[in-house]
Amino acid sequence: METAQAALKISELPFLAEEAPEGEGGDETTAAGSQGTVGEPFVENPRMSCREVNVFYGEKHAIKDVSIDIAGNEVLAMIGPSGCGKSTFLRCLNRMNDTVDTCRVSGTILLDGMDIYDRSVDVVPLRARVGMVFQKPNPFPKSIYDNIAYGPRIHGLAESRSELDAIVEQSLKKAGLWQEVYDRLDQPGTGLSGGQQQRLCIARAIAVQPEVILMDEPCSALDPIATATVEDLIAELQEQYTIVIVTHNMQQAARVSQRTAYFHLGTLIEVGPTDRIFTNPRHRLTEDYITGRFG
Amino acid sequence: MLSKDACRAIVLLAVALAVSPAAAGQGRDYISIVGSSTVYPFATTVAEQFGKTTRFKTPKIESTGSGGGMKLFCAGLGIETPDITNASRRIKKSEYATCRKNGVREITEVKIGYDGIVLANSKEAPRMNLSKRDIFLALAARVPAPDGGEKLVANPYRTWKEVDPALPDTRIEVLGPPPTSGTRDAFVELAMQGGCSTFAWIKTLKKTDKARFKGICHTIREDGAYIEAGENDNLIVQKLEANPRALGIFGFSFLDQNGDRIQGSLVDGEAPTFENIASGSYPVSRPLFFYIKDAHVGVIPGMREYVAEFTSDRAWGEDGYLADKGLIPMSAGERQRYAADAAALKPLILDDAGN
Amino acid sequence: MKKHGAMPGKEKVTAMDVVQKGLARRYRRERWFRRMGLAAVLASIGFLGLLFVSIIGNGWSAFTQAEVLLDIDFAAAQFDVDNLARANYGALVKKSLQKLFPGVKDRRQKRKLYRLVSSGAAFILQKMVMQDTSLIGTSRRIWLPADDEVDMLLKGYISRSVPESQRRLTDRQIGWIDRLIADGRLKKRFNTTFFTAGDSREPELAGIRGAVAGSLLTMLVTLLLSFPVGVATAVYLEEFAPRNRWTDLIEVNINNLAAVPSIVFGLLGLAFFLGVLGLPRSSPLVGGLVLTLMTLPTIIIASRASLKSVPPSIREAALGIGASKMQVIVHHVLPLAMPGMMTGTIIGMAQALGETAPLLMIGMVAFIVDVPTGLTDPATVLPVQIYLWADAPERAFVERTAAAIMVLLAFLICMNGLAVYLRRKFERRW
Ligand SMILES: Nc1ncnc2c1ncn2[C@@H]1O[C@H](COP(=O)(O)OP(=O)(O)OP(=O)(O)O)[C@@H](O)[C@H]1O
Ligand SMILES: [Mg+2]
């Protein structure tokens, strides 16, 4: 059923049929197609499953034939050198790429068996189910309270003011920010420090109770203490949610994730259990990267 | 919040658009007047007086120039067209024809008095004594060759003394209105053409080759001696004060108001005074008119009364308030005749008249 | 830089030395640039100051007006209670002047005497009686406006030293004026008429109220139309319209429209609003529509620029938690772009406030005495009033022209101040 749908999808996309040039380099990375991904990209009972995803920014082929599953209640870490397409792939998962004019996506991405790129799918509820925390903190220029309350308000998640207050408090507590801001909820969110802002954005994302949370380098602007808070949060969230996290910090990936995916020049090179990837990488590129030979 | 405002505004616009033509369709309760900027100060004075002393609204008067006024006036009948147009010249045959073609069949002509066109300079310089011939020779683009004969040359005169040895040895520098102005038309017709007709061979051209005649007499030089100073006569007065060598051309009312700063040049020996213009001895003066759309009388309230006010002696008489504003009144006989014709709405018939 | 290449091998030159060497020149350039900027600012302030000084110098005297204190005897015999408008109010003025100067007997001289008081005095008395009939039968001392010539003499614009024949006031009249001044009956008082009256041919009776009301009504129409339409257009073009040849064409056209001479909009207004729609000539409604066409491009361009300047991260943040496109725009983008949009709108409105050319075509350059009260009443606007007064022969209009310019400038300063205030206020929410 799923595979039939995927096949149908691809045949519908004419630009994929013949061309889809095989990378720029022509080196060994081209060998790694979807079949070429080393390791165990697929799981049983996936929450999300991606098949032969290709992304183009105009002429630029940013993601090449990526196929991967994401299991429920797991943390998947995505690593790879800068510019290899981690953010791009992440943004495919809640269709944030729709906002980029030049961006075209092909292939299938299923969420609980539903093709999220299907014409009948409404992106608004999709993004409520698949939340996102961005690489740069981007709080709204509103009060701290309104930042958190905005999502629940537009989705109608709270019946009353007290319910809304409870959601705000819960979310801030989960993000480890409550202690710092509980007495100034009416002050602008933009007045917080960079690390606080990032946690505010995390709180904002979880306030709408998504099923999947996408995090794009959430800790790149945080100090070790705040990073630890966020990592604790991820561990805690994992019990309810599925989390995909992009990180440049290898230790972080090792600490928080169960599985790790390694991207290189738009191609998914290797996927596997985090311990194994870091102790015993199978692909030479993965090995080079985690041992710090490049990237 | 914004979308609500936007909606409200759009609704408002729709209502405004829907209501206003309807409102306009109900008729107009004020007189609409257009036309000459020379008549404007007089017509507005009458209008104000009329508005204050009667139960009617004060007429609205647009200053559009004589030609512009005629165009609007002759566009047709109906409340969106003006009821009266002022003119600093008589209606042209072509305009009259347009009027008739557009259904404006009956119009009444009312002459209201005269306007003198003066050449003035600053009191700091000696008063000029010019003939019309001097004016023509000083300002025409092409003049008969100074050595005689029936030949035209580009205007060679640089100073007044070269034009006429009796005049001072100063550069010819004249500030005057642009070609769009009625004052300029009248000046060209009365002063320039008058001076140009003093050359016998040019005068004969008027019968034989009218176009050439006009070309010679009506074309003002463009080499810098004549400076177009805009329609604003006040500005010309100010420039004359700053530059005592220059002469300026404008309507008599501006001389009248600024007698302490500027003086009018004699033309053919006559000074531009109230009496001289009224008696007709000052040669550069023109009649002023207004034209009534007879079909609107009785439709637009107050038209008869407005005309009566304008043609009353307390307005246009020798001691009337218009004389105060610089209008040169007609003789008592002429006034009586025009007032009677206006009251009777005697339609103008233009078969051979006009130019 | 040159030194660098031709470095002698003898001494070792570190990067710091090169930097130091260039430093003096860099600072010199910086100082020079700063001084140029300062000079430019000073020059523009100088010109602005010059403009203000000349206008205020010309115009301040218009805020006072010579008035005469007359004893008016509203003798009951003169009034017919049923027809108060018919009473001869001019005679009341004349009688009181006669009482003041009983020696003036000659008819011509009497006329000269009466002329010292404005012809509007009679109407002022008429209004007073109509409003309060209890005045009839009483005697009152009333300040009435003097004629504009008297006003000019008091303000020193008419010189007493020129020969009598070149003055519009005779020696005898000046004698009377001096008597009145000595008696404390002739004084310059604050000119309320200037703010409460419509246009008039008599300078002492002329005011800017009609023009101000016309300007306000016209601006109201312009604001109500151009702001929502301009913002909606900008939002559509910026947020919804696909980027293709059509939208490029629209964009080019909007930018071109911003540069079209304003009279063209007047011609369009004449042809369309008056010709096709049949809207009433000279009305603030049509004036507002024409000025809307003129200001729309300014507003659209400014609004698009401020929409563009909203950081994309804010949009992504809102989209990321599932806001719809409309919600992103209304809740986040518009509030952030609003200060810029408002600034653009106010600048466009200020431009429109100062416009005369397009209004010429639609009949708003007109003598209108009655103060307009509705959108379809005939009306004129402040700059047109200035233009008309500047063209009037009476000398007393010169100062009134300058005073009207001062009022217009005050409006413009207020509007621009409002723009700055709004920007400040809303920017704080960032
Ligand atoms: N909007 C865009 N338009 C065109 N090209 C883009 C766009 N966004 C990203 N790219 C290109 O796509 C490729 C992948 O970018 P992406 O942002 O996904 O990298 P990344 O792996 O997240 O890098 P980093 O670790 O530096 O964040 C890059 O080569 C980038 O230049
Ligand atoms: Mg990235």
ipTM of predicted complex: 0.80
Q: Which of B154, B140, B160, B144 is nearest to B247 (CA)?
A: B160
Work out the minimum CA distance from C309 to partner chain A, whole angstroms.
Answer: 14
CATH 1.10.3720.10 residue ranges of chain C are: 209-426
Question: Residue B51 and residue B306: Cα distance in Å, rounded?
Answer: 9
What is the three-class DSSP state of B299? coil
C-alpha distance across the termini of chain A, in Å:
39
Q: Which of B342, B345, B233, B307 is nearest to B33 (CA)?
A: B307
Question: Beta partners for A114?
Answer: A111
Q: Could you read off the pLDDT of C85-124 as tens digits, one per residue?
A: 777 788 888 888 888 888 888 887 888 888 899 888 888 8
Res. A5: pLDDT tops 90: no
- State residue B22's pLDDT score: 46
Instruction: Band the pLDDT of A52: cuts 50, 70, 90.
Output: very high
Judged by its nearest atom, the ligand closest to the C-alpha of residue A96 is: 1
Specify the amino acid at residue C143: W
Ligand nearest to the CA of A102: 1
For residue A82 and ligand 1, the question of a CB distance below 6 A is answered with yes
Collapsed DSSP state (helix, strand, coil) of residue C153: helix
The response to whether residue A99 sits with its C-beta less than 6 Å from ligand 1 reads no
Residue C287's pLDDT band, with cuts at 50, 70 and 90, is: very high
The rounded distance, in Å, linking the Cα atoms of C225 and C292 is 7
Cα C430 to Cα A191: distance, rounded to the nearest angstrom:
9
Please give the CATH topology (third level) of the domain spanning B116-285. D-Maltodextrin-Binding Protein; domain 2 (3.40.190)
Whether pLDDT at C269 is above 60: yes
Q: Quick one: tokens of A62?
A: 């940013």
Give the integer Cα–Cα distance in Å for A95 and A129.
12
The band of C328, judged by pLDDT with boundaries at 50, 70 and 90, is very high
Which residue has the CA at smallest separation from atom 3 of ligand 1? A57
**Nearest Cα to B44, choosing from B58, B30, B27?**
B58
> By mean pLDDT, which of A90-104, B108-122, C66-80 is the weakest?
C66-80
Q: Which of residues 53-92 of C touch B (CB under 8 A)?
A: 85
Please give the average per-residue pLDDT across A103-111, as a whole number: 92
Asked whether the predicted pLDDT for residue B10 surpasses 70, the reply is: no
Angle at B30 between CA B29 and CA B32, to 5 degrees: 135
Contact C73, C92 (CB under 8 A): yes
What number does the ligand 1 atom closest to the CA of A60 have? Answer: 5
Q: Is the CB of A60 under 6 A from ligand 1?
A: yes
Percent of chain B whose predicted confidence (pLDDT) is above 90? 32
More confident residue, A89 or B37: A89
Instruction: Flag whether pLDDT at B8 surpasses 80.
Output: no
With 0-12 CB in 10 A as exposed, 13-18 as middle and 19+ as buried, what is A228?
middle
Q: How confident is the model over B255-264, as pLDDT tens digits?
A: 888 888 889 9
Nearest CA in chain A to C332: A140
Residues in contact with B1: Cβ distance below 8 Å, sequence separation at least 6, in sequence order = none
Q: Distance, CA A91 to ligand 2 centroid (Å)? A: 10
DSSP one-letter code for A51: E
Token readout for A119 is 């014409």
- Strand pairing of A46-57 and A103-111? antiparallel
**Most confident region among A174-178, B117-121, C36-40 by mean pLDDT:** C36-40
Q: Quick check: C53 and C393 in contact, CB under 8 A?
A: no
Q: Where in chain B is the domain with CATH 3.40.190.10?
A: 4-115+287-344, 116-285
Q: Which ligand is nearest to the CA of A84?
A: 1
Instruction: Give C311's contacts in chain A (Cβ within 8 Å).
Output: 138
Our mutation pick for probing the ligand 1 site, out of A57, A78, A82, A267, counting the most ligand atoms within 8 A of Cβ, is A57
Q: Does A139 touch chain C (CB under 8 A)?
A: yes
C344 vs C243 pLDDT, higher one: C344
Tell me whether residues C202 and B63 touch, CB distance under 8 A: no
pLDDT band per the 50, 70, 90 thresholds, residue C11:
low
Share the mean pLDDT of chain A. Answer: 84
**Which residues from B are below 8 Å from C365, CB to CB?**
62-64
Could you give phi then psi for residue B268, rounded to 5 degrees? 50, 40
User: How long is chain C?
Assistant: 430
Beta-carbon separation of B16 and C221 below 8 A: yes
Of A43-52, B91-100, B303-312, C165-174, the one with minimum mean pLDDT is C165-174
A140 touches chain C (CB under 8 A): yes
217-256 in chain C: CB under 8 A from chain A: 243
A142 close to C (CB below 8 A): yes
Strand spans (E) along C197-254? none
Chains in touch with B (≥3 Cβ pairs < 8 A): C
- Tally of CB atoms within 10 A around C191: 22
Q: In residues, how long is chain B?
A: 355
Whether C197 contacts C207, CB under 8 Å: yes
State whether residue B122 is helix, strand or coil. Answer: strand
**Where do runs of H (alpha helix) occur along chain B?**
2-25, 40-53, 66-73, 93-101, 132-139, 160-163, 182-187, 193-196, 200-208, 210-218, 233-242, 252-257, 274-279, 303-310, 313-316, 321-324, 332-343
Does any ligand 1 atom lie closer than 6 A to the CB of residue A102? yes
**pLDDT (mean) for C77-81:** 71
Q: Which of A86, A248, A289 to mutate to test the pocket of ligand 1 (most atoms within 8 A of CB)?
A: A86
Q: For chain A, what is the largest distance between any 2 Cα atoms, rounded to a whole number of angstroms?
A: 61
Q: Hey, are the CB atoms on B52 and C368 less than 8 Å from each other?
A: no
Q: How many CB pairs under 8 A join A and C?
A: 66
pLDDT tens per residue across span A175-218 = 888 988 999 999 988 888 888 898 899 999 999 989 999 999 98
Which ligand has the minimum distance to the alpha carbon of residue A81? 1
B-chain CB neighbours of C232 within 8 Å are 6
Q: Return the residue whose CA atom lies nearest to atom 17 of ligand 1.
A: A87
Judge residue C284's burial from the number of C-beta atoms within 10 Å of its C-beta, 0-12 exposed, 13-18 middle, 19 or more buried: buried
Query: Which single residue is written with the structure tokens 């290797």?
Result: A270
Q: Looking at chain C from residue 313 to 342, which residues have their Cβ under 8 Å from any Cβ of chain B?
A: 330, 334, 338
Report pLDDT for A32. 40
Q: How far is the CA of A293 from the centre of ligand 1 (A)?
A: 22
Point out the residue among C228, C278, C392 whose CB comes nearest to the CB of B24: C278
In the predicted model, is pLDDT for residue B9 greater than 70? no
Nearest to B283 by CA among B120, B140, B122, B118: B118
What distance in Å separates the CA atoms of residue C209 and residue C198, rounded to the nearest whole number? 5
Candidate from C228, C368, C393 with C-beta closest to B9: C228
- Is B63 part of the contact surface with chain C (CB cutoff 8 Å)? yes
Please choose from A53, A54, A86, A88 the residue to mutate so as to test ligand 1's pocket, defined by most ligand atoms within 8 A of CB: A88
Q: How confident is the model at residue C42 (pLDDT cuts 50, 70, 90)?
A: very high
Tokens 């792939």 found at: A89
- How do residues B59-75 score in pLDDT, each as one tens digit? 999 988 888 899 999 99
Strand pairing report for B285-293 and B84-87: antiparallel
Nearest CA to ligand 1 atom 23: A83
For residue B11, name the pLDDT band (cuts at 50, 70, 90): low
Residues lining ion ligand 2 (Cβ < 5 A) are A 87
Q: How far is the CA of A217 from the centre of ligand 2 (A)?
A: 7
Closest chain A residue to the Cα of C244, Cα to Cα: A101
Reported as a pLDDT band with limits 50, 70 and 90, residue A3 is: very low
**B263: exposed, middle or buried (Cβ count in 10 Å: 0-12, 13-18, 19+):** buried
- Sequence-separated (6 or more) residues with CB below 8 Å from residue C357: C261, C262, C263, C266
Give the right CATH number for B4-115+287-344 from 3.60.90.10, 3.30.1280.10, 2.30.110.10, 3.40.190.10.
3.40.190.10
Q: How confident is the model at residue B5 (pLDDT cuts 50, 70, 90)?
A: low
Residue A260 scores a pLDDT above 90: yes
Q: Which fold has domain C209-426?
A: MetI-like fold (1.10.3720)
CA–CA distance, A217 with A214 (Å, rounded to integer): 10
Q: Is the pLDDT at A1 greater than 50, yes or no? A: no
Please state the rounded mean pLDDT for residues A127-155. 91
pLDDT confidence bin for C158, thresholds 50/70/90: confident
Q: Minimum mean pLDDT among B153-157, C50-54, C134-138, C225-229: which range?
A: C134-138
Q: Whole-prediction pTM value? A: 0.80
Mean of the per-residue pLDDT values of chain C: 87
CB distance A57 to ligand 1 below 6 Å? yes
Q: How many residues are given for chain A? A: 295
The pLDDT, as a whole number, for residue A14 is 40
Ligand 1 and A66: CB distance under 6 A: no
Q: Nearest CA to CA, how far is B150 from chain C (Å)?
A: 43
For the cut 70, the answer to whether the pLDDT of residue C428 exceeds it is no
Give the lowest-confidence range in A1-15, B33-47, B132-146, C359-373.
Answer: A1-15
Q: Select from C159, C201, C232 the Cβ nearest to the Cβ of B41.
A: C201
The stretch C307-324 carries a mean pLDDT of: 90
**Ligand 1 atom, smallest distance to A81 CA:** 25
For chain C, say whether A237 makes contact (Cβ under 8 Å).
Answer: no
What is the reported pLDDT for C94?
Answer: 87
Calculate how far, in angstroms, residue A83's C-alpha sits from the geometric centre of ligand 2: 7
Whether B73 has its CB under 8 Å from any CB of chain C: the answer is no
Whole-angstrom distance, CA of residue C69 vs CA of residue B261: 31
B140-190: per-residue pLDDT in tens? 988 888 887 778 888 889 999 988 888 899 999 999 888 877 788 888 988
Between B and C, how many CB-CB pairs are < 8 A? 125
pLDDT recorded at residue C112 = 85
pLDDT given at position C422: 80
Give the mean model confidence (pLDDT) for residues B17-26.
50
Q: Is A136 in the pocket of ligand 1 (CB under 6 A)?
A: no
- Listed range (B207-211, B301-305, C404-408) with the worst mean pLDDT: B207-211
How far does the CA of residue C180 sit from the closest CA of chain B (Å)? 23
Strand order in the sheet with A114-115: A60-71, A46-57, A103-111, A114-115
The residues in C 304-323 lying below 8 A from A, measured between CB atoms, are 311, 313-323
Is there a contact between C280 and B257 if contact means CB atoms under 8 Å apart? no
Residue B6's pLDDT is 54
Q: Locate tokens 């092409």: which residue?
A: B142
